[in-house]
Amino acid sequence: MASSSSSSSSLSSAISPQQKHEIQEKYDVFLSFRGEDTRDKFVSHLYAALSATHISTFMDDNELQGGDEIRPKLSQAIQNSKIGIIIFSKNYASSTWCLNELVEILECKKRNKLSFVIPIFYEIDPSDVRKQKRSYEAAFGELEERFKDRMEKLPQWRAALTETSNLTGLNSKKSRGESEFVQKIVENILEKLLQCQSSDEKYFKGLIGIEEKIKKIESLLSIGSKDIRFIGICGMGGIGKTTLAKVVFEKLLNSQSFDRCCFLKDVRKILKGSGGLDHLTKDVISRLLNEKTVREMDTPFEALPPTIFQRLRRVKALIVLDDVDSSTQLESFYDGCCILAPGSRIIVTTRDEQVLKTVTDSIHKVERLNDIESLELFRLRAFRENSPTVDYEMVLETIRYAHGNPLALKVLGSSLCRRPKVEWESVLKKLKKNQALEIKEVLKISYDGLDNGSKDMFMDIAFIFNSSFTRDHAKSILGDAVEMEITLLIEKCLIEDDEGNELRMHDLLRQMGREIVRDEDKEPGSRSRLCDAVEVCYVLENCTGTAAVGVISLDMFEIEKNVIVHPGAFSNMRNLRLLRVYYGHHYTARNEGIHKFKLSIPRALHSDLSTKLRFLQWDSYPLKSLPSNFIPENLVGLVLRGSHVEKLWNNPKAVSLPVLRRMDLKFSKFLTQVPDLTQAPNLETINLEGCTSLVQFCSSLQNLEKLTYLKLNGCSKLRDVEGMFKRPEKLSESWIQKFISNVWPYPSQAHISQKFAPNLRCLLLRETAIEKVPPSIVCLSGLAELDLGFCKRLKSLPTSICHLNSLEQLDLRGCEELKTLPEILKPMGRLKRLYLSESGIKELPESIENLVSLKILRMDECQGLEFLPSSLGKLRSLSLMSLNYCSKVQELLPISPSLKNLYVNYCYRLKSLPEIPPQFLRSLPTIPSPHFGFCEHGCTAWSDYFTFYGCGKLDQNTRNMLADQALFHILSRLKFGSSAGGCRSDYFCYPGDEIPEWFDHQTCGTSISNIVSPPDWNDPEFLSFAFCIVLHQNKLGLFQDFDIVWKFGSQTICIDCDFPYLCADKFKDREVSSDHVFMVHVTKSALQQRIYELKYGFTGLSFRVPMHEVNWPNTCCTDVSFRAYWRFPNESAEIKKFGVRFIYRQDLERLYEKTERKNKRRFNECCESSGSEAVDSLEEEDDDKAHCRIYRTLGGYIR
């Protein structure tokens, strides 16, 4: 290796991607935290501990973030992380930045971009976060004032806080000190990372013949050695160099062998197109050091502070340079890599082996696929899962022309997929005409097989996009039809579906497309498409364009001289559809200053632009306005970023823009006004960021009914904004930031104004001083959500509220003066959620049965509530009812048969539950399945909870009945539900100190060993497990959750047993009057899902895992054991007893018979004590009514 004396200058031309080229680094952990609370103490200590353990961690160093929306860099970092760590602190909720970051993290978790999300509660109670109390309540009070015109954000933030705080996390108050707490977090993360690891099958899937190539590269890299190694990968285009480098990179990234990892795509294009190697090099270094300030330094790279180079010497880096074609650049990088830490590795891919010979330690030349590998790959693309439709010899003859090139094999195979034999013969004839076909000529055969529409789309993409792109970006330029065509091109392997949302066209295919167009005519101005910078500049300078030109795409970074556009350059291009003059990659205000060459127009364009123009982009457009006679009737997108325009059109009248959807004029610093947009009815997005001369904004926004995106940040002179908000309900997602002195106050009101927009969908009046809701609220016919939570003075609701036919959610939580609900005079078909917790409600009206679609009813802590109406049992859609801490409720009437979750915890006066009529007990085993709340596939959507914690006054008969209820519920699921009850679990809790006798394995303590397990775990006769513990607890804890650890053979599985809503923070540490029984039922399907998740690191799967893919024991083993753990141990809690039961299909009938005998005894006892009145009264009813009573009672007893 060369000495380090030349390191600084040589590195400047080494890895020099364009400023906006994203280095897709992967992280183990993403930290979300409130800087002012924790950055300098706890977070810095945690970050140091994670770094010391070689856990790659993303921590945003920005102390002050501008605006409310998170930057794309952070969004990408979240997606590229395995674990999201949310550090909740006192002031976390006061930052909209943090709240948006939290929402993004949860979204990534749902899309499986993140494997785990772990909440950390730092010096704050989890319930404060969960319920937004104390500092969080104050923060949301300020947010409601700040976002009074954008209230749609607040419910999203609240839901995110509640959802995250319900996850299993760590609480600093449960540790003896900060160092112990940090260590617990690190250990937890390491455990989760182990679950994220997956086998090499993940990397090899669908890649033929790559295993041996990977082993060869890994051998050349010699990861264990301390030197710095430079490894080259070379080979022809399409041979798989990038794929091989990417797979090796991913494996090494997950091995955590390096401090920082960077994969730089398309280095050849980036270095050719960018104008400032010095600036771009600093951009790369800033990423290696995670130091933003390096990129922004004005000093040249060579003059950077010595500390920068000192820090680089401590970075053990893995860097991949993909597609390099300059040996000079590579030699410079070779000289500069000495500044990296020992053990660093650099991988370079290139088509030219000569580029590598003078610098690399080793070179791996990627060989063509052999005949067997070629056949396997071709068959995979040409026939998929089906049998060949042609002769075997014809297949072998076809693949011979691909010469073992993977790209050619994929494209050729995909183009022939599902084609009849006659078309195969036609392709073979073309191939046989020239035995020495080059790969690009083989690829052209696939292109020739496309229809004209697909050919046009292929060519447009080949000319418009030089690198990766997204579907949305393509749609914004090429139109809606692109969606279908892209899907077809992907199927033909002419476009690759890259990571995330990115799409890519291989260089060989792009070159092939451009060569086809180049062959159309020797004169560039007579071709259908232009993108070569030299040719585009020639046509524009010399006015040689003709009607043949439909597409012009010019990357300003590629021009090598100042270009003066001829005033009549576009006069003959009457068929021009797409005109794109842009700075490569993402545009910023600095792009124009980076590049020294300009595209200028001396005075004005004498010719009109084509009326067929669909997309017009001209970054740094040099004129003060667009041509006055330009008729943009077909214009869908208008992008003039960094332009010199003062007005778009000199015409004072409104210009007709019937199909315009996007207008982007950002950083147009001379723009003084926006034109009248009344004739742009389809406009969806407007971006005026950085338009510093904009003084007035048009009032025509009120007519833009489809507008969903408005960005005005940086418009420092903007004052007149009133007209924008005459119809604010139409603006579902607005970015209005960084105004100066343009905040307009809204007066507080003691009543709801009757002037709300009629199309309002969400009305949030939480914590206001309103005393009544006027009947005129019925005018809000589209209202879907009404939030009156914690309106302390609200005393009543009008009966007209039942006429809100679109209402889906009504929130009346904390309305202490609200004693009753109005009569519900007509069915409300859409109301699904009714929240009454902590309100003054004393009773519910019998007419509540008119809430025919109600699914969730929460009445927690309604201290005045004594009685529930019998009509509650008629709510056939109700799935969750919560009555926690309703201290005056003494009995429950029969409830809905659809109920899946019932929370009746801490109802201290509750004495009894609905009795089961004896005639029902006799007929229970014959009740058909539809009345147990199953979906059409026999599996309900979520787990069932029935909890009666803290109801110490329940008599012994009722407690026994609850134990029976649990058994009935479990057996009903198994008997009537398909697939042994689906993938859900069931949870029960009630006061008691005995484990039901049907748990045939019991112990006093927490462990049960030497259980004889099923001889064959895949045997359909084995259905499920049931677990039970008796918990002794002197005081309430914050959580009532326990885990079951199951060991069989060498495997260990942890079964989570979570009981939510069993303790509110305000009731923590209250004395508990009795022991409690906790029971959990886990189906085999749910357990196999858990095993699969642990094996492959997947979570939140929605599909069913085939049994053969689960690593069950295949023989009877006697070392099966179970142990119960209280997840949050404390001195006042002790597991006294533990029971386990394996449930088989044969047990169903045996247990039912036993239960039926028991119920018959109870039936006879009832008959003896009450005579035959009950039976006689039942016999007087007709059959339908009798069945209805049975079903209602089933809801009150079984469910």
Provide the annotated active-site residues. Answer: 101
How many Å is the maximal CA-CA distance in the chain?
A: 110
68: tokens are 């409310």
β-bridge pairing 529-530 and 551-555 = parallel
Answer positive or negative: Cα dihedral of 1114, 1120, 1126, 1130.
negative
CB 765 within 8 A of CB 788: yes
Give how far the C-alpha of residue 815 lies from the chain's centroid of Cα atoms, to the nearest Å.
35
65: tokens are 């973030």
CB 713 within 8 A of CB 738: yes
392: tokens are 């075997």
Nearest to 989 by CA among 878, 901, 871: 901
Using CA atoms of 1111, 1112, 1116, 1121 in order, give the dihedral in degrees to the nearest 10: 100
**Collapsing DSSP states into helix, strand and coil, what is residue 1143?**
strand
700: tokens are 């025509």
Segment (H or E) for 528: none
Q: Tell the residue number behind the tokens 């009607």, with chain if given.
A: 547
Distances (CA, A) of 843 to 20, 24, 823, 1196: 62, 58, 12, 20
- φ and ψ at 690, to 5 degrees? 75, 15
User: How many Å is the Cα radius of gyration of the chain?
Assistant: 35
- The contacts of residue 735 (CB under 8 Å, 6+ apart) are 67, 68, 69, 709, 710, 711, 712, 713
Round to whole Å and give the CA distance between 392 and 806: 62
Angle at 405 between CA 402 and CA 410, to 5 degrees: 80
Segment (H or E) for 1009: strand 1007-1011
10 Å CB burial of residue 1120 (0-12, 13-18, 19+) is: buried
- Other Cβ atoms within 10 Å of 915 Cβ, number: 17
CB 328 within 8 A of CB 306: no
Distances (CA, A) of 1046 to 196, 571, 898, 1119, 1143: 21, 78, 33, 10, 16
SS3 content of the chain, % helix, strand, coil (to 5): 35, 15, 45
Distances (CA, A) of 134 to 127, 142, 164: 10, 13, 18
Answer positive or negative: Cα dihedral of 464, 466, 469, 473.
negative
Q: b or e along 1007-1026 (b: 16 or more beta carbons within 10 Å of the residue's beta carbon)?
A: ebeebebbeebeeeebbbbb
Nearest to 946 by CA among 707, 600, 1196: 1196
Round to whole Å and give the CA distance between 803 and 825: 9
Segment (H or E) for 1117: none
Q: Residue 1115 corresponds to which amino acid?
A: T
Segment (H or E) for 10: helix 7-11
Strand order from edge to edge, sheet including 1051-1057: 1007-1011, 1120-1126, 1042-1048, 1051-1057
β-bridge pairing 496-497 and 502-504 = antiparallel
